[in-house]
Amino acid sequence: MASSIDDLKSAIKKALPDLDMVIAWAAGPDPLSHTPLFITEEADIERIEWDPRCSQNLAGYLPGLRGKKVGIVVKGCDARSLVELLQEKLIDREDVTIFGLHCTGAVDARTARKALGSLRGLESVSIDGGTASFSVSGESKTLPLAGVLQKKCFTCTGADAEVCDHFIGEHGQPPQVTDIPATTLEELQAMSMEERLHFWEDQMSRCIRCYACRSACPLCVCQDHCAAQSREPHWVDQTDHPREKLMFQAIHALHTAGRCTECGECERACPMGLPIMTLKQALNLSIQDLFDYKAGTDPDQAPPLFEFREEEKNIKERDW
Amino acid sequence: MPTARYIANDKLMPWLLSLTETRQVLAPVQAGGQTLFAPLTADSQLDINGLADASAKAALLPRCETLFEFHYSKSEGIPSKTELEVRETLPDQDTFLFGARPCDAKGFTVFDRVYDGGTRRDIYYCTRRDKTIVATLACTDPADTCFCNRVGGGPGDTDGSDILFTPVDGGYVIEPVTERGEAFLAEQPLVEAEDRKEEARKVREKVAEAMPDEGSLGGAKGEVLELFDDKEFWGDVTAKCLSCGACSYLCPTCYCFNMTDESNGDDGVRVRTWDNCMSFQFTLEGSGHNPRDGKAQRMRNRIGHKFSYYPELHDGNLACVGCGRCIVHCPVSMDVRAIVAQARDRALAKQEHAND
Amino acid sequence: MSVNEGKELRIIGFLCNWCSYAGADTAGVGRFAQPTDLRIVRLPCTGRINPLFIVRAFMNGADGVLVSGCHPRDCHYSEGNFYARRRLEVLKALLPVIGVDPGRFEYTWVSASEGQRWRSVVTSFTEQVHALGPMPSFKSGTSLDMCLCQMDQTQVL
């Protein structure tokens, strides 16, 4: 059972007088995707929405609001980004008031739009068991989760915000998704090296270099001063070659290695629907193996690439 | 004497493919789950249901355009002297752009005023424009995010097009809009269909009338300008903006560019690429000063440019065609319609209070 | 995309100044015969290596990349190679995902006196890269190729 919206609203109402603002979700122009709401007055609280359309991770706004007393509403995956920001001391714990939720799954607006056809008259969305129900003009359309949820939800490691000040509702299990389609990583593993290179060349030919992936990433704090846009050093050239765009994805993946919590914002934000979380997933699997480490679980840990050990028990070096 | 023609649904793809023998044909095709404009081949999956995800602007303003190539070489007789050879690279391909929507074509008129402005003509843009025939497909199912009717356009408009295709029962009525369009159609093996012109006109009229009328967004130029110093307004409106650039790159009217030289040893090219005013680097000066170093100022510029500065310079024509792509693809669902409406309300409220 | 046509493949070596570069020099002084595909870039320490150097090298057409530094615990700067070891292990996970055969990248430790070891590392790594052949090319050629329209024209706009 997802956390109750009324409980959430009353918790925020209570805390708001001591805060500069609270960030939650509200209805926006897209019936399948709720939009961030910056609450400064009690009247704003009425606009809050909480349902599977609250896909956006709001944690990314926090580093830019440092110094202010900010309340934030987070799902399980969002909270892991928050923990990562705490680990790296990009936000101050005492200035953040965390409203944690139990999430039943987040809708992927792109796939849901295709599955539903017309969105006219969409009133509500709820998730129960293994299906999602879309109420359209009074009628309910039920669809399997695998066709409408964000890919990250298929491998959810925890639907509850673990680190928080106020947990709303009851703890529960991640969404039960059946018939999960093969991930891009699995598809790549079946390809030869050359096929993989051409796969990315094809994907990156559609990349428009908007850097929405970077802007949406809660961990990308360099933003305006990103290495990928420097001329000195000239990491990436200005031409439209897919190689340059693949290079940017390599930069993004390596700069978030050991930090990425697979919140999925990069893929959600990409206007071209490119499977860019794949690179980060691969690195996360490797980091799990090498350092027994998972990002976003413990605010007192440090990302593995920030430190080292003299003896690395999981690194098997090559014998020459 | 310009005349209407007709093509049946099942004849459309074969006809388009036949055109590829003499020129490049650009059309909306399925690519990786999206619908994007690409050169048409026999393997392409043509997708003309609804609006393509990216605009057709790359047909006239490519993402990356080569302006010239350069080569350095040592002089034969004098080793200390370096020769520089520069060769202009002008576009040279005839193109038939099929399946642009009226909003895409109207976007081209926004570019025409800037890149083909009387005494100042951009040779690259103009060459491409002259070599491209724009065949627009009238809309029959505008999305909730479409608002062409609020910015001086419409689902069946012909501004910027050479030819208009209107879906009717069984196929399309094809009407020339410009002389270039008529000259092209005259050479095509298409049946004449003067008697179906009225049917096509009725289809377009019906679609236009069904679009919700929530008031024009034109004429806001004074109000938008009035809020220039209103930091609170622009700060509030951009609180959720990520300052990415998806909106600019998908927009059919955004035309700002960057020029860079890229070289590899002695050979190189000067390229012109899309630039985007949402980026911090857009106004970053060599001294390090940046007049628009925050997203609030950058969004103010974007809205100002489209709804105030451009119309001021160009007879009231807006630099927004209401395609709604910025709304559909924005990761945080920014809504340009709402921002302009809020700007007007705020400016009007200020005016009222000014008289208190 | 391989930048070299002919017998030699292009292998880039990132060597730390204090141990491996000196070790390579020792091999040279000892006049050990070894393949000449490897071209060295000298760095103060393997800790200086940004894993993106290696990615960029492959994107630019390198057929193989070798990194060599001081043995762990013998780093001239005490800790540089410890960081390098972690970063380069993580890089090894990225390369196969983007289509670079993991056999094209190795990192190793060669000290200043290990001329013989340097010779055998270079020889066996060069053989390893030759067995894989030249790095596959991008269909679009190089950036310059693409800008001058010498590329596959069916890409989306």
Encode pLDDT of C76-95 as tens digits: 999 999 999 999 999 999 99
Distance, in Å, from the CA atom of B233 to the CA atom of B241, rounded to the nearest integer, reads 14
Give me the pLDDT at residue B119, please. 83
Asked whether A80 and A297 are in contact (CB, 8 A), the reply is yes
Give me the pLDDT at residue A108, please. 95
Give me the pLDDT at residue B32, please. 87
More confident residue, C151 or A246: A246
CA angle A226, A232, A238 (to 5 degrees): 70
Give me the pLDDT at residue C149, please. 67
Q: Is the pLDDT of residue B281 over 70?
A: yes
Beta bridge partners of B26: B39, B97
Q: Judge whether A237 lies within some domain.
A: yes
Percentage of the residues of chain B whose pLDDT score is greater than 90: 86
The answer to whether B286 faces chain A, any CB pair under 8 Å, is no
Q: Judge whether A54 lies within some domain.
A: no
Distance, in Å, from the CA atom of A268 to the CA atom of A270, rounded to the nearest integer, reads 6
**CA atoms within a 13 Å half-sphere pointing along the CA-CB vector of A104:** 20
Mean pLDDT is lowest, of A166-170, B73-77, B106-110, B330-334, for B73-77
Beta bridge partners of B25: B96
The answer to whether C140 faces chain B, any CB pair under 8 Å, is no
When pLDDT is cut at 50, 70 and 90, the band that residue C155 belongs to is low
Give me the pLDDT at residue C3, please. 56
Span A86-98, mean pLDDT? Answer: 95
- CA-nearest of A142, A91, A98, A137 to A116 is A142
Inspect the interface and report whether the beta carbons of C148 and B26 lie closer than 8 Å. no
Give me the pLDDT at residue B227, please. 93
Inspect the interface and report whether the beta carbons of B268 and C154 lie closer than 8 Å. no
Nearest to A310 among C72, C96, C138 (CB): C72
Phi and psi, residue C71, nearest 5°: -65, 145
Provide the sign of the torsion angle of the four alpha carbons B284, B290, B295, B300, taken in this order: negative
Domain ranges of chain C: 11-147
When pLDDT is cut at 50, 70 and 90, the band that residue C148 belongs to is confident
The answer to whether B63 faces chain A, any CB pair under 8 Å, is yes
Inspect the interface and report whether the beta carbons of B26 and C155 lie closer than 8 Å. no
Phi and psi, residue A125, nearest 5°: -135, 135
The answer to whether B80 faces chain C, any CB pair under 8 Å, is no
- CA-nearest of B249, B241, C102, C97 to A277 is C97
3-state secondary structure of A145: helix
Mean pLDDT is lowest, of A123-132, B7-16, B276-285, for A123-132
Give me the pLDDT at residue B220, please. 79
Tell me the ipTM for this assembly. Answer: 0.93
Nearest to C147 among B24, B54, B269 (CB): B269
Q: How many residues does chain C have?
A: 157
Q: Judge whether A83 lies within some domain.
A: no
When pLDDT is cut at 50, 70 and 90, the band that residue C2 belongs to is low
The structure's pTM equals: 0.95
Give me the pLDDT at residue C152, please. 44
Give me the pLDDT at residue C5, please. 60
Mean pLDDT is lowest, of A12-21, B233-242, C3-12, for C3-12
Q: Judge whether A230 lies within some domain.
A: yes
Inspect the interface and report whether the beta carbons of B38 and C154 lie closer than 8 Å. yes
**Domain membership of residue A207 as a residue range:** 182-320
Encode pLDDT of A246-282 as tens digits: 999 999 999 999 999 999 999 999 999 999 999 999 9
Inspect the interface and report whether the beta carbons of C82 and A199 lie closer than 8 Å. no
When pLDDT is cut at 50, 70 and 90, the band that residue C107 belongs to is very high
Distance, in Å, from the CA atom of B316 to the CA atom of B215, rounded to the nearest integer, reads 17
The structural domain count of chain A equals 1
**Residue C23: which H helix or E strand, with range?**
helix C22-29
Which residue pairs, CB below 8 angstroms and at least 24 apart, start in B117-123?
A: B123/B90
Q: Is the pLDDT of residue A152 over 80?
A: yes
Encode pLDDT of B243-267 as tens digits: 999 999 999 999 999 999 999 889 9
Q: Judge whether A312 lies within some domain.
A: yes
Distance, in Å, from the CA atom of B242 to the CA atom of B239, rounded to the nearest integer, reads 8
* Domain C11-147 part of CATH 3.30.70: no
Distance, in Å, from the CA atom of B109 to the CA atom of B121, rounded to the nearest integer, reads 14
3-state secondary structure of B178: coil
- Burial class from Cβ neighbours inside 10 Å (0-12, 13-18, 19+) for residue A182 reads exposed
**Residue B224: which H helix or E strand, with range?**
helix B221-226
Asked whether B127 and B73 are in contact (CB, 8 A), the reply is no
Nearest to A205 among C56, C98, C155 (CB): C155
When pLDDT is cut at 50, 70 and 90, the band that residue A196 belongs to is very high
Task: Show residues of chain B in contact with A184, CB under 8 Å.
Answer: none
Name the DSSP letter for residue A175.
P
Helix axes C80-98 and A193-204, enclosed angle (nearest 10): 80
Percentage of the residues of chain A whose pLDDT score is greater than 90: 85
Asked whether A144 and A116 are in contact (CB, 8 A), the reply is no
Distance, in Å, from the CA atom of C95 to the CA atom of A130, rounded to the nearest integer, reads 36
Residues whose CB is less than 8 angstroms from the CB of residue A180 and which lie 6 or more positions away in sequence, other chains included: A146, A154
Can you give C75-138 as a three-state secondary structure string?
A: CCCCCHHHHHHHHHHHHHHHHHHHCCCHHHEEEEECCCCCHHHHHHHHHHHHHHHHHHCCCCCC
